[in-house]
Structure 1
Amino acid sequence: MFKRLLLITFTLSSVPCFAEKKPKLYLTPYSHLDTQWLWTYEDTIQKYLKNTVDDNLKLMNEFPEYQFNFTGAFRYKLIKDYWPARYQLVKQKIQEGRWHVSGSTWEESDVLIPDPESVLRQVLYGNLFFEEEFGKTSVDLMLPDSFGFPSSLPTVVKHAGLKGFSSQKLTWGAANGVPFNVGLWSGPDGSEVFAALNPGPYDSPVPKDLATHKEWLDRLNSNPRVEGQALDFRYFGIGDSGGAPRREDVENVVKALRNPGRSYDLAMGSSDQMFRDAEGKDLRLLPRTSGEKLLVEHSAGTLSSNSQIKVQNRQAENLAYQAEFLASFASIFSHPYPKAKLRRAWETLLAVQMHDIMGGTAWPKANSHALNDLAIAKNLFRSSLEASAAALAGDMDSSSPGLPLLLVNTSEADHQEVLSVSLPIEAGRFTHVRAPNGDERPLQRIHAAKGFQDFLFGANLSGTEAGIFTLFAKKGEELETLETLPVSEAVIESDLLKVSIGMSGDIISIWNKELNREELKEPLRYEFLNEYPTKYPAWNMTWKDRKRPPRSYLGGPAKIQIVDRGFWRSSIRIERKGEGSTFIQTISLNRGRPVVDIIEDIDWRTRDSSFKAALSPMFSSKTAFYDMGLAVEERPANHPKLFEMPQHEWMAMQSSGRGMGLINSCCYGTDRPSEGKMR
């Protein structure tokens, strides 16, 4: 006899049930100020900051319930420096809890172009200033007007010790839509941040019947619950030149606050209050999102507009990293750490990373101020770097005969590089360099300014290694007698690669000597693309333009001349003209390096166009990879929702054991018109 047993199991939800609570609406009164945009620092100091203080103090005097949020420690510093009496009044209101230091950052920065380290420094120096000046800090990252957000931003926010993030910019045409009003956004490492991604425009009006307004109430009640309570987060205020929210909007909020018959809780306060209130609560019922938050059109052009700002910013960030590394290294050997100088350098750089400056959407005079500040920041970082290097060199053995050079590899990876050094003629005669391990390598003389002698040499350093390399002259040998890499006006060679140049000046072949194969499917072409956005030309690119073929290509006639011929490097210089602009390219191959180096010198005079280098490897791939600092993004080829994509230092394709990448020193805007092309 068989008995059958029916087993019934019940799976209970791990999310506890909470009693329904009265919904809560968080209102953030705010004034958006572009520190520079269609105006300069002078206008901001003389008018907009003054008006922001005066107008908000007037509202505070009229409405006891009124509170105000203002971002950017840099703007507070400007008030302190230029309006000290008003600054004292602001400090008083901050202590009273009616004026809130918001957003945590030194400036409302762009976050697609700056390195993630810069974004972290925005929070570090912003909240440091707030703490020193007011004894208070903010726990939110508030970026209402920045032009898109990388997938790593939640990771940066979390590691900076912040609790929340808000922006209204995704309503300007997000590539993947607006995922929710309030919810959780996770970064590539799993870090989650409570985010308000649809707070309404920062200049939103407040309805007169706020206490009972159907649209606002419906949205609030439809939002997910946190421990049984529906939450919503909204901006209201004014922009883009500071000031205060409209009086009628403040009056409407105060009227609702005083209405005892409201069906929901209403808070008019700091931009981080919702995130503070959620601390320790069960957020598992909130909707979730992950990945980057890019805009279809409105962040496309900002990746390339006013490229000189972006070039100088990249150089400043690189100097910052090197200066910090060497200063920390030197401090191990009891040399003082230049804390004040590095802070001043960072604060100068971070102010330039304000979204309209870094995005290239400000007017020329504002950009001129920014370039000046970038030069100051670079000089401060460079002087710190040089002082630390000198201190380190003094502690190292440089007794080997010859001229000692201190080399430091500030990265964690081992590096084999061809380096250049410039010396005055009177420094002496040199033919070789001696590495720290005793290996001797020849020097290659290259073109130098009058009174100087410039050399190239190969150097190997392990990650974070420092070493003394010594230049010396070897008896009986002259530089001109050393083996040279082959170079002509049509062909450049190294030990690893052979590059062929066509009559028009294009690279028509890259032959890989190690693997005995061609790497290019078609010549590397430079393309002029139509750019006719219907509005916001410094911001926008359109799918209508992008899906068209190039309107023209950079071609001949090309002036080609040999620049370098020697043991370490072969180079040629190509000059061409196209659509009113002049292009000078120096193409180089270095011994031991499987990379084609191209230095571009462009005198740009062309209108209504972008200019791109189009690289077609011998393979295709459905997706490509893009460096974004803390994350590597994998994206498909162009499509109507994403056709201009950000990257930092490289993009790459790979398929079936083959791969090819584009490495850059300053370019952020990229795309793939097909699965077989990068540009």
Structure 2
Amino acid sequence: MGGQPAAEADGQYPQLSAKPVGQRISRIYKERINSFTAGGQYESQNLRSMLNEAVVSGEPHIKLSVYNVPDLARPPFKDAVSHDFKPTKVGESFGPSWSTHWFKVAITIPKELLKKELLELHWDGNNEALVWSEDGHPLQGLTGGGERVEWVIPDSFRDGKEHIVYVEMACNGMFGNAPGGDSIQPPDPNRYFRLGKAEIVAVNVQARALRLDFWVIGDAAKEFPENSWEQHKALQVATSIIDAFEAGNQGSIIKGRKIAQEYLGENVDSEKVYETGTEPLVYGIGNCHIDTCWLWPWAETKRKVARSWTSQCNLLDSYPEHRFTVSQAQQFKWLKEFYPSLFDRVKAHIKKGNFQTVGGSWVEHDTNMPSGESLARQFLYGQRFFESNFGERCKTFWLPDTFGYSAQLPQLCRQSGMKRFFTQKLSWNNINKFPHTTFNWVSLDGSQVICHMCPSETYTAEANLGDLRKSVTQHKSMDQDATSLLVFGKGDGGGGPTWEHLEKLRRCRGLSDKIGSLPRVHMGQSVEDFYDRLEDRIGKGLDLVTWYGELYFELHRGTYTTQANNKRNNRKVEFLLRDIELLATAASLKNSKYKYPKEDIDDIWEATLLCQFHDCLPGSSIEMCYDDSDELYDKAFTTGHRLLKEAHKALGLEDPVISGVSGGLVAVNTLPWYRKEIVRISETAVGVACGSGTAIKIKPFKIAEKPAVTVREVIKDVFVLENDQLRVQVEGGNITSLYDRRARRDVLPKGSRANQLVIFDDKPLYWQAWDVEVYHLGSREVLHATSTRGVEITPHRVSVQSETRISDVSWIKTTISLSAAFVNTPSLVEITAVVEGLETMRFLKVEFPVDIRNTEASYETAFGIVRRPTHYNTTWDMAKFEVCCHKWADLSEHGYGVSVLNESKYGFATCGNVMRLSLLRAPKAPDAHADMGRHHIKWALLPHQGELGSETVRAGYAFNNPMRVLRAPVAAVEALNVLDIRVTGDASLVLDTVKRGEDDED
């Protein structure tokens, strides 16, 4: 032993230290990961320097010429290529915003590149574009800005000859033309786009693959738990790849790939990676959410569809495991009309089962504001389109991006052949976290659908390792089933999945199979496959957690009010269509010469359903979109009124002012119950329509010794309006007393003021058109009338009008009216308002404090009634500080209640005993002129005895559907009323719609 070195036990482990080795500082090594693939100072020496084997640009290999389309037109291919093209070059700018420029691109591949493994045309104008073949077929969508800039050059071009393709450049980014390119600000009309790249690229396929390997490995080093063995392992692998790399040395690329494969597995370059038999947790589904309008007009959406779906067809050809899912029948119809060859290509992929249709609706629509019949027609028109064009109906309702979910959707889904529902928007709640990922959702009638919300909390996942981890860590229903959907791909502005998404998912699957610690993702299955497995695992849903009623979205509450004229048009056209279908049905049964105008009705419905898209009807689009919707509504009203006149004529009804028309005056009633109302038969005369049936005879309004309704000014600016049922005191534009003579009670609390105009500061945290935040309630400002005067004093109706100054640039005139009351017919206090609004970020409302107490108020919704809290006991209650209603809201207690009716509004709140109707907002983004200008608004106050019942429901219909006065012979009236279509039974039963069958032949 003395002084002699000890013998090495195994002869291998050295006795002496060769060098000092320190602990790796993980933070520094993680930062090093970024520099290996990033641009900047190391670009010439890192992996980025070897991604391309060669790049060729300019003549003679790339020759460019351009046709600059005038007047912001978007011509079809044949028109565009028939014009003269002028020489151009990379570096030139094109614009302005929304303009179109067609490029003729002459490609000649250099001899030295003919044998390269992969050749691509890289085109980047920092805007959207579509590559076309010389004979007019879409080839590839491009998005610019470094996102999707490549088109794979076909082998047929490898002959040394010149070949032609066209590139259709759209002067807008993926998210329109807002300053900065992707913000939600109003678009800049003068953006110009520089053509930065037009080149032939020989891709270094192995270097590209290593970049993707490294992408996932780098994600693992950053995403796995800090200081975990998984993180350290990923960091070691990433470091080894960087250490092995040598710029310019292809051998170092191959070496790096071998290191990566030891970590990721050997099959990550093909679909074989998914062939292992282990049950996955996450099912990857490619999706391309294209907002049918938003930060761009509808005309651009048509091109977005072509760009996006062309790209997906190419990926489906290259990646056998890819499954691409889309909804919205309207977009398919546009594709069929404007891009027939691409539609045929899509149809072929649908037949193969890798391009999958979901949704069953015409568009991905709003569900808060459309009527019940509108929601039903979304499914009717959507499902009929899918069935007639692709042979089957959709089984899953797909609505990832709308702003709340009506309580009746499960019932409508089931009646439309869908028992499954997918969304994710509730993950955006800004007050309470929605507690479930997978659950049964039950409607008012008890119908249920199985609902899944992807725990990654996005429908535009980037297919990163972090998205897969979130699919488990954010899954709220793990105790019942751990599987989930991962919906990935560029969205909102279109695009869909890229080849990078698909390559990353292959590597993520390889990683989970090789080392575990990552949820196993699977590709190659459809949305229906996922739900089929889900149903089996949860015992057909018998024990699945249940959510009853509406899925209230705790965000975007301002969308119930923004873009008031657009919402008014929606309500008006819904009632117009209702009348057309009822009267046209009656006419087709009565008059054999009359043909039910189904094509015209379909056109109006399709336009209406389009305008109910979830960024159009809610008011969250740019001004151009509302120019588009105004045009559609104008056409709908023009056609609709023509159809009404034709139906009237076929029924023997004529305009009363037409000379030579014989017969008495009748009121056309399209509501299926008894009505007794005053109707105006001329500018100076009124009559009384009393009865049931479609044509009600009008009797003279008889003036008795006692006036039916009176008004008197008791003191200056204080008026009392009175009929047999109500006494209304108006002071300074407010109702200071409302006495119900039948119930012998005051409707308002003593000292309160109803019909009180109030205005709020309205500056949400970010989304101006979308949001109103709870803190706005603290800025309440009472508006005071400057004058009040009597403006109508007749035996049948009296009115007083008040003028209120909102600001130096805005004002409102309100007219409070009371009409003669009839026995057994409810009496309303009607208010009409003319508003000149030029405010900035302010919210106008009208309040009604009532002497009623209840912890819940009732609101009409699509085909039903929902109840919501009037208090703020919990954060779930407080979150509903602004809600959506249709024709009325009601606050009732045992024995008595008050309803507030409206004919074009949707936003409402009931706080304690104060009922508050939302009138106008004034956001400045994304439409700088939203709600500016003149508005005409009507609402009414309906006190009623007893709790909420059919009286309010019927009054809401009547308030929105006044009877029309026409002239008809007695025989025509009798014949029409014989055809009267109605249901009998309980008064709460409503026959909402009457129409001919879709496939009727007459």
Shift of 1:219: 6.4
Deviations along 1:221-266, whole A, 9 cap, x unmatched?
96355xxx75322311122111121322222334567899598683
Unaligned 5+ runs, structure 2: 1-277, 655-660, 714-718, 873-877, 918-1002
Q: Match for residue 327 of structure 1?
A: 584
Partners in 2 of 1:23 and 1:57 — Cα distance?
26
Q: State the AA in 2 paired with 1:501.
A: V
Q: State the AA in 1 paired with 2:835.
A: I
Do the aligned partners of residues 470 and 289 (structure 1) sit closer, same or farther apart at CA in structure 2, a change above 3 Å counting? Answer: closer
Partners in 1 of 2:644 and 2:453 — Cα distance?
40
User: Of residues 905, 918, 922 in structure 2, which corresponds to 1:667?
Assistant: 905
Partners in 2 of 1:560 and 1:149 — Cα distance?
44
Shift of 1:389: 2.8
Matches within 5 A, 1:6-155: 22=279, 25-46=282-303, 48-155=304-411
Do the aligned partners of residues 54 and 630 (structure 1) sit closer, same or farther apart at CA in structure 2, a change above 3 Å counting? Answer: same
Partners in 2 of 1:40 and 1:613 — Cα distance?
33
Shift of 1:677: 4.3
User: Of residues 458, 478, 490 in structure 2, which corresponds to 1:223?
Assistant: 478
Q: Match for residue 711 of structure 2?
A: 487
Partners in 2 of 1:468 and 1:515 — Cα distance?
30
Q: Match for residue 233 of structure 1?
A: 485
Q: State the AA in 2 paired with 1:606.
A: E
Aligned-residue Cα RMSD (Å) equals 3.0
Corresponding pairs, count = 607
Do the aligned partners of residues 361 and 224 (structure 1) sit closer, same or farther apart at CA in structure 2, a change above 3 Å counting? Answer: same
Do the aligned partners of residues 406 and 175 (structure 1) sit closer, same or farther apart at CA in structure 2, a change above 3 Å counting? Answer: farther
Shift of 1:122: 0.7
The alignment status of 1:158 with 2:414, answered yes or no, reads yes
The alignment status of 1:625 with 2:858, answered yes or no, reads yes
Q: Secondary structure at the match of 1:615?
A: strand
User: Of residues 362, 372, 383 in structure 1, which corresponds to 2:621?
Assistant: 362
User: Of residues 675, 691, 699 in structure 2, which corresponds to 1:461?
Assistant: 691
Shift of 1:112: 0.4
Q: Match for residue 271 of structure 2?
A: none
Q: Secondary structure at the match of 1:558?
A: strand
Do the aligned partners of residues 343 and 270 (structure 1) sit closer, same or farther apart at CA in structure 2, a change above 3 Å counting? Answer: farther
Deviations along 1:2-25, whole A, 9 cap, x unmatched?
xxxxxxxxxxxxxxxxxxx94553
Contact 1:627–1:651 (CA under 8 A) maintained in structure 2: yes
Matches within 5 A, 1:213-612: 215-216=470-471, 223=478, 225=480, 230-255=482-507, 261=513, 266-275=522-531, 282-296=540-554, 298-333=555-590, 334=592, 335-393=594-652, 403-422=663-682, 446=684, 455-462=685-692, 465-469=693-697, 483=707, 485-488=709-712, 490-502=719-731, 504-521=732-749, 522-524=752-754, 525-546=756-777, 548=778, 550=780, 552-563=781-792, 565-579=793-807, 580-592=809-821, 593-612=826-845
Do the aligned partners of residues 267 and 63 (structure 1) sit closer, same or farther apart at CA in structure 2, a change above 3 Å counting? Answer: closer
Q: Secondary structure at the match of 1:184?
A: strand
Shift of 1:197: 2.7
Contact 1:71–1:103 (CA under 8 A) maintained in structure 2: yes
Higher mean alpha-carbon deviation, 353-362 vs 97-106, is at: 97-106
Unaligned 5+ runs, structure 1: 1-20, 396-400, 423-444, 447-454
Do the aligned partners of residues 642 and 84 (structure 1) sit closer, same or farther apart at CA in structure 2, a change above 3 Å counting? Answer: same
Deviations along 1:31-64, whole A, 9 cap, x unmatched?
1111211111222234x12321222122223212
Q: Match for residue 211 of structure 2?
A: none
Calculate percent identity across the aligned residue pairs.
25
Do the aligned partners of residues 542 and 310 (structure 1) sit closer, same or farther apart at CA in structure 2, a change above 3 Å counting? Answer: same
Q: State the AA in 2 paired with 1:233.
A: L
Contact 1:151–1:292 (CA under 8 A) maintained in structure 2: yes
Contact 2:560–2:884 (CA under 8 A) maintained in structure 1: yes
User: Of residues 452, 476, 492 in structure 2, which corresponds to 1:196?
Assistant: 452
Deviations along 1:589-626, whole A, 9 cap, x unmatched?
12124110111211111222211111011232222111
Partners in 2 of 1:508 and 1:219 — Cα distance?
53
Q: State the AA in 1 paired with 2:664.
A: P
Partners in 2 of 1:386 and 1:278 — Cα distance?
53
Do the aligned partners of residues 304 and 135 (structure 1) sit closer, same or farther apart at CA in structure 2, a change above 3 Å counting? Answer: same
Rg larger for: 2
Contact 2:535–2:541 (CA under 8 A) maintained in structure 1: no
Partners in 2 of 1:233 and 1:53 — Cα distance?
21
Q: Match for residue 14 of structure 1?
A: none
Do the aligned partners of residues 415 and 59 (structure 1) sit closer, same or farther apart at CA in structure 2, a change above 3 Å counting? Answer: same
Do the aligned partners of residues 222 and 654 (structure 1) sit closer, same or farther apart at CA in structure 2, a change above 3 Å counting? Answer: closer
If asked which structure has higher relative contact order (CA below 8 Å, sep 6+), I would say: 1
Q: Match for residue 12 of structure 1?
A: none
Partners in 2 of 1:40 and 1:598 — Cα distance?
36
Partners in 2 of 1:23 and 1:201 — Cα distance?
20
Contact 1:179–1:197 (CA under 8 A) maintained in structure 2: no
Deviations along 1:386-420, whole A, 9 cap, x unmatched?
3223222369xxxxx96433434323332222222
Q: Secondary structure at the match of 1:33?
A: coil
Q: State the AA in 2 paired with 1:632.
A: I
Higher mean alpha-carbon deviation, 94-103 vs 520-529, is at: 94-103
Contact 1:224–1:286 (CA under 8 A) maintained in structure 2: no
Q: Secondary structure at the match of 1:146?
A: coil
State TM-score, norm by structure 1: 0.83
Partners in 2 of 1:215 and 1:512 — Cα distance?
59
Partners in 2 of 1:394 and 1:357 — Cα distance?
37
Partners in 1 of 2:758 and 2:782 — Cα distance?
5
Contact 1:404–1:468 (CA under 8 A) maintained in structure 2: no
The alignment status of 1:180 with 2:408, answered yes or no, reads no
Q: Secondary structure at the match of 1:610?
A: strand
Q: Secondary structure at the match of 2:283?
A: strand
Shift of 1:275: 3.6
Q: Match for residue 3 of structure 1?
A: none
Partners in 2 of 1:343 and 1:224 — Cα distance?
47
Q: State the AA in 2 paired with 1:555.
A: H
Shift of 1:310: 0.7
Shift of 1:195: 0.7
Partners in 2 of 1:497 and 1:402 — Cα distance?
39
Do the aligned partners of residues 209 and 44 (structure 1) sit closer, same or farther apart at CA in structure 2, a change above 3 Å counting? Answer: closer
Do the aligned partners of residues 55 and 352 (structure 1) sit closer, same or farther apart at CA in structure 2, a change above 3 Å counting? Answer: same
Deviations along 1:99-129, whole A, 9 cap, x unmatched?
1222111111100011121111111101211
Q: Secondary structure at the match of 2:462?
A: coil
Shift of 1:295: 2.1
Contact 1:131–1:137 (CA under 8 A) maintained in structure 2: yes
Q: State the AA in 2 paired with 1:223.
A: M
Q: Secondary structure at the match of 1:672?
A: strand
Contact 2:785–2:802 (CA under 8 A) maintained in structure 1: no
Contact 1:171–1:198 (CA under 8 A) maintained in structure 2: no
Shift of 1:457: 2.1
Q: Match for residue 434 of structure 1?
A: none
Partners in 1 of 2:595 and 2:535 — Cα distance?
40
Q: Match for residue 655 of structure 1?
A: 893
